Amino acid sequence: MSVRLCVFLGSIAAAALGLSSPVCAQLGDEPLKLADSQLEPVKWGDVEGWAGDDHLAAFTAFQASCQTFRNAKPDDDRPIYNALREVCRRAAAARPTNKEAARRFFEDNFRPVQITRLGEAQGFLTGYYEPIVEGSRFPNPEFHVPLYRRPHDLVAAGYKPGSGDFPNKGALIGHRNENGEIVPYHDRGAIEAGALDGQKLEICWLRDPFEALAIQIQGSARVILEDGTPLRVNYDSHNGYPYTAVGRVLIERNLVPREEMSMQRIRDWMAANPDEAPKVRATNRSYVFFRVSGLSNEGEPVGAQGVPLIPGRSIAVDKIHVYGTPFFIDASLPIESAKPNTPFRRLMIAQDTGSAIVGPARADLYWGAGDDAARIAGRIRHPGRFVMLLPRELDMIEAGKHMPLPVAKPNIPEAEVKKEEGKSKQQASQRVPLPVAKPNIPEAEVKKEEGKPKQQAGKTEEKSRVKKLRRQVGTVRWRPRS
């Protein structure tokens, strides 16, 4: 689907077109193509909270993303990708040393564009973090929940092993049957019941089924093994089923009140209901597989872009966006408490993705590792305003040229205009029927005609009087005189 571009015209242009609202048009391939999106250019002064942010911290995160543009050959033909490469080239020479200089860099190289899904006013935010859990290399009564690597028989349509990252979405994923057709893979319920046993896919073993679920939701983890070795695992692939939020299932079944919902609340419910918990987890048929990314406890996990995530500056977005794109997020979030009363106005960089992150104005905010980050991330499910920073190489005025405009009025000389106006009046006078003229009647005739009704009325009254008299005195007979 083409992007719907909404551009606010100047007052003169709007008046000329008879418009008082954004002009919207369906664009083709150039210069932008974002599915199901609505874009509205705004001014920097209208981006609430923009001036108060720490743009130097955002610039550091942006520079990290730029490394992928500088070190890799162009493998993306989207206009935004190529434009970001140019901005990154200038960022290498900019080297701002304070917030103000970093802010000027972003304002000089980008244009702010509010982005939403078509027909919606705001986007939607969630939070994620890196769990830190204990685990074991071998199964035992304490650690008995496996964390799996990608199965050998998991395939995706059009994907060749070794050709790059396994498709996250947008491809048919499953396993091949005896006819070579791709059919659905084992879902969560089947895998938790042992469908992958005996294939030697276990990376490690965890203590709690909820911990395995949480790691799959977050996409990475630090597993502290029995000898103290930190095993870093990261998202690799999934079984092809759409993600279903377990928290929503608990709310719909009236098992947890909506206002109490959080990751900790889900954990508490599952611990208190061990027999029902597998059935609730099975409602989320999606299952995630991992790869080992390191044996260090230092640094942050690597996102899908291939750079370490930065707490409070990295976001996961839908893959319709280009990694490295800056987004300014404006929302009220439950950061300091469970109530969403903390203003969050911050420039974030798209550096990750996830199978549950779907839509043009949808983001997962990365908060870091550990319990504190988990508490904040687990509370966030809130709306927010998304302002995408579009590289100036992509001219919104050029995009506006694709809008259908009214047919231009022909240039007619003044004499011709008057002549045509005269013809129009003459034709109009000929077409309009006039009322029939009133006949010219002499005054005497008028009086005569006016008297007739009165005379007729008098005769009628006389007849009525005679009939009444006859009823009273009978028939009158006349005799001649003698």
pLDDT digits (tens, 9 = 90+) for 253-291: 999 999 888 888 999 999 999 999 999 999 999 999 999
Backbone angles phi, psi at 181, to 5 degrees: -85, 145
> How confident is residue 480, by pLDDT bands cut at 50, 70 and 90?
very low
Report the distance separating Cα 367 and Cα 348, nearest Å: 12
Q: Is 286:243 a contact under the CB 8 Å cutoff? A: yes
Tell me the pTM.
0.71
Cβ atoms within 10 Å of 7's Cβ, excluding its own: 17
- The pairing of strands 220-224 and 132-136 is parallel
Report the distance separating Cα 125 and Cα 386, nearest Å: 10
Type of residue at 94: A
Type of residue at 156: A
Give burial (CB, 10 Å; 0-12/13-18/19+) of 459.
exposed
Cα angle 431, 437, 442 (rounded to 5 degrees) comes to 170
Selection from 86, 96, 112, 90 nearest residue 59 by Cα: 96
DSSP 260: G
Q: How many residues does the chain have?
A: 482
- Residue 158 or residue 60, greater confidence: 60
Q: Residue 301: is its pLDDT beyond 70?
A: yes
Selection from 305, 398, 327, 346 nearest residue 110 by Cα: 327
Report the distance separating Cα 132 and Cα 130, nearest Å: 7
Report the distance separating Cα 129 and Cα 333, nearest Å: 16
| Three-state secondary-structure class, residue 190 | helix
pLDDT digits (tens, 9 = 90+) for 69-115: 887 777 778 889 999 999 999 999 998 999 999 999 999 999 999 99
Selection from 321, 287, 285, 286 nearest residue 303 by Cα: 321
Backbone angles phi, psi at 364, to 5 degrees: -110, 120
